[in-house]
Amino acid sequence: MTTPVISIAYHSGFGHTAVIAEGVRDGAAAEGATVHLIDLEQISDEQWSLLDGSDAIIFGSPTYMGSASAVFQAFAEKTAKRMITQQWKDKIAAGFTNSASKSGDKLNVLQNFTVLAAQHGMHWVALGLLPGWNSSTASENDLNRLGFFLGAGAQSNNDQGTEGVHKADVATARELGKRVSEVARVYVAGRTALAA
């Protein structure tokens, strides 16, 4: 059994996005991946090396003013040398974001992540879940309750702390982690078989 290595490169301004990152981690680990949580506010040289050695990198940021946070943007800019040398080429990529509003322009952040991944020559993995909470028999407790396809979108009330992160969004984050782990395992196994 191939064990993929997955790094979750995320920023969390008030802790809500960190809860989502932990959900992604738990889902990936449940599928047997080795997972590293990397807080971009305090990224170290060792953690940059972990990113370089990972089979998959999952990007995460809160949505602030319709974009990823300044901390995430600074991280993205620091990857420029890796982009020029294509150091992350052919790694698996995915992403998640959180905001106080149900929509909150989260799609723009997920699209920014896909462009970043494309510049690096990475392979993007979408959420892979149908939207929930979109019929009279549906519920806000459905997986993918906010109806995102490109990645995982979460909503947390701005007057609550981390206890207010919606359980369905954490469960959706776990599904993203599982999916990335499954895709990365297949990809790594295939690359290993081709090299044999």
Neighbour-count burial of 123, counting CB atoms closer than 10 A to its CB (0-12 exposed, 13-18 middle, 19+ buried): middle
Q: Which two tokens stand for residue 91?
A: 């790694």
| pLDDT of residue 1 exceeding 80 | no
For residues 88 and 123, give the distance between their C-alpha atoms in angstroms, rounded to a whole number: 10
For residues 33 and 78, give the distance between their C-alpha atoms in angstroms, rounded to a whole number: 26
Q: Provide the pLDDT confidence category of residue 104 given band limits of 50, 70 and 90.
A: confident
Q: Which position has the higher pLDDT, 165 or 1?
A: 165
Q: What pLDDT score was predicted for residue 76? A: 98
| pLDDT of residue 100 exceeding 70 | yes
Nearest to 154 by CA among 26, 36, 56, 12: 12
Q: What are the tens digits of pLDDT across the range 12-62?
A: 999 999 999 999 999 999 999 999 999 999 999 999 999 999 999 999 999
List all residues 6 or more positions away from 108 whose beta carbon is below 8 Å from its beta carbon.
Answer: 63, 66, 67
Q: What pLDDT score was predicted for residue 146? A: 98
Distance of CA 193 to the CA centre of its chain: 27
User: pLDDT averaged over the chain?
Assistant: 97
What is the pTM assigned to this prediction? 0.98
Q: Rounded to 5 degrees, what are φ and ψ at 81? A: -65, -35
Q: What pLDDT score was predicted for residue 2? A: 83
Q: What are the tens digits of pLDDT across the range 129-167?
A: 999 999 999 999 999 999 999 999 999 999 999 999 999
For residues 97 and 61, give the distance between their C-alpha atoms in angstroms, rounded to a whole number: 5
